[in-house]
Chain A
Amino acid sequence: MKIGQRENLIRRYLLGALSEANQTAFEQELLADRGKFDHVWAVENELIDSYVRGKMSGADRERFEGHYLASPLHRERVATAEAFLTNIDQTVGGAIEIGEKDPVVPWRSRVSDLLHWPRPVLGGTMVLAFLLTVGGAWSYLERVRLTGQIAKLQNETLSEHASLKQREQELASRNQELEREIAVERQRREELKAELERLRRQPPSSSSAVLSFLLTPAAPVRSEKAPPQSMIPLFVGKACLLMELNGEDYANYQVILQTVEGREILQRRTGKVMFGKARAFVTLPVKAGELTRGDYILILFGQTTDGRSEEIDRYFFRVS
């Protein structure tokens, strides 16, 4: 469709000259194409402007007044355009000056002529003056109220902003603190891990643990019923053999350790240790390797103050 035809179609649509079917089809076309829709809207504004400026041809003006201006909404639009264009047309240099120039009201004058409405000028002027006064006062009060509201909102916004900023700083500070704590914990964990690893790799200490074994004296001399033979597991490291004293009290003690075959393993002087007030023990420390698997006899001697040795007890035990 040529530009002229298209423009003509739009004008006919806006001036209500299309049939219902064509109108519907035309609107569907506009619905599908935003550019075309905008174009029709632009033509509508052109029509209004042309009418307001008195540039419309007679036939178009008749149609415009007969159809377009039948809508109160359109009349309002034309009046607005008139006010706007009048000011623009009267403005020199782009500054809008309202109220200082005589309004040019061509279309409304025509409408007024049509309706033959009486217009008592003086009364109208007074009403207008009253409206302007009331409107001005209302506008001033409204502006004061709005300014107050804006100031209040700005203050609230600033206060909220400051509060948020402070909260943000607190959170940042707390974050840093937590990060430091996490770093310390992480370091400690690493140290513990390293320590654990070191301990895992280190061979078991031979001197750290001392096992004590209480030996039971042999029975034949003092009792008819033999007590069970003491059993000592083959140990690694150091051990301590304990012999309990039953009331005997000597200045010194001596032990002789030998195999059941009579081979002497060791002979040592030793002391007495007290466990509480009532119990006393003679101790014999032995090192790993001094005792191998087998049966042993330990003979305990007490040395009197005059230098004599007396056998106190014999102990049989098995290392297995």
Chain B
Amino acid sequence: MSGGARQAHIDWKLTEGAFAQFLACLDPDPTRAGEKYEALREALVKFLDWRGAPFPEELVDETFNRVTRKLEEGETIRDVPTYCHGVARMVFLQSLEHPRNNRVKLEELPPIAISEPEPDVSDVRLECLNHCLHRLPAENRELIIEYYRKERREKIDHRAALAERLGIPLNALRSRAQRIRGKLERCIQRCCCRNT
């Protein structure tokens, strides 16, 4: 890429029109396009998360920016989700070149001499957990507590019974519990950031 073209790409800003064009490629119906966008975003974030990216959401935003820019430039993309997945991988690999994103194994972390007492965040986290649990709707709170209560064989039976009681398939229960857990995690993360 030439210097001028690279500068043009850096200067490129996502516009409402370009984003609408991107959504339209996912589905002609705006509501369904929005749903597909959310699902695609969630999947890509999780893929990069599972690959160990420290800031997967930022990388996925960059991915969507790149794909949207391509569409705006007139490129025809047949399968937008697959294309986005390919771009996301590339963005992730590029991000590894950045020192901020280098993965370090726990064993490889250098010993740190701490002169000041290290603030123990576990109690903050407990407070945050309590806070975030109570922010959940009562129905969701009960569901996630029930879902993760038991262990092993007992747990499987317990979940089956819970699904039956709620009148939903086990898969749907699992999916619902995961989403609540995801929300809970994000809430706790935000809460911990504020309180430490």
Chain A residues at the B interface, C-beta cutoff of 8 Å: 13-14, 16, 23-24, 27-28, 30-31, 34-35, 37-42, 44-45, 49, 53, 55, 65-74, 76-77, 79-80, 83-85, 87-88, 91, 94, 96, 98-99, 103, 105, 108, 111, 114-120, 122-124, 126-128, 131-132, 135, 138-139
Contact = CB atoms under 8 A, between A and B. Distances in A.
B80 to A, nearest CB: 11
B127 A98 contact: yes
Contact of A65 (B53, B54, B106, B127): B106
A33 to B, nearest CB: 10
A24 B89 contact: yes
Interface stretch (B10-18, B21-29, B114-122): B114-122
A120 B118 CA distance: 8
B82 A84 contact: no
A16 B185 CA distance: 22
Interface in B134-150: 142, 145-146, 148-149
Contacts of B125: 79-80, 83
Contacts of B91: none
A125 B93 CA distance: 42
A42 B181 CA distance: 10
Contact of A70 (B47, B103, B148, B195): B103
A53 B49 CA distance: 22
Nearest to B195: A135
Contacts of B168: none
A104 to B, nearest CB: 11
7 contacts: A70-B103, A74-B52, A80-B129, A83-B188, A94-B142, A114-B106, A123-B117
A49 B111 contact: no
A38 B170 CA distance: 12
A83 to B, nearest CB: 5
Contacts of A123: 116-117
B109 interface: yes
Interface string B52-75: 111010000000000000000000
Given A30-B43, A119-B118, A99 B89 contact: no
Contacts of B121: 79
Interface in B97-129: 103-107, 109, 111-114, 116-127, 129
B46 to A, nearest CB: 7
B99 to A, nearest CB: 14
Given A38-B175, A96-B145, A115-B112, A73 B123 contact: no
Given A49-B148, A84-B129, A128-B123, A111 B106 contact: yes
Contacts of B196: 131
Contacts of A72: 54
B174 interface: yes
B105 A66 contact: yes
Interface string B70-88: 0000000000011001000
Nearest to B89: A24
B126 A117 contact: no
B148 A88 contact: yes
Given A120-B117, A128-B123, A77 B129 contact: no
B130 interface: yes
Contacts of A24: 85, 89
Given A40-B50, A66-B105, 15 more contacts: A13-B50, A35-B171, A65-B107, A68-B52, A70-B104, A73-B56, A80-B125, A111-B106, A114-B107, A115-B106, A118-B113, A118-B114, A123-B117, A124-B118, A138-B195
B154 interface: no
B181 A45 contact: yes
The 10 residue pairs across chains A and B that have the minimum distance between CB atoms: A123-B117, A98-B130, A71-B52, A70-B103, A135-B195, A127-B119, A38-B175, A83-B129, A124-B117, A120-B117
Contacts of B114: 117-118
B133 A42 contact: no
Contacts of B119: 124, 127-128, 131
A147 B40 CA distance: 37
Contact of A69 (B106, B123, B171): B106
Interface string B154-196: 0000000000000000010011001001001100110010011
A71 B40 CA distance: 22
B20 interface: no
Given A30-B43, A31-B43, A88-B148, A115 B130 contact: no
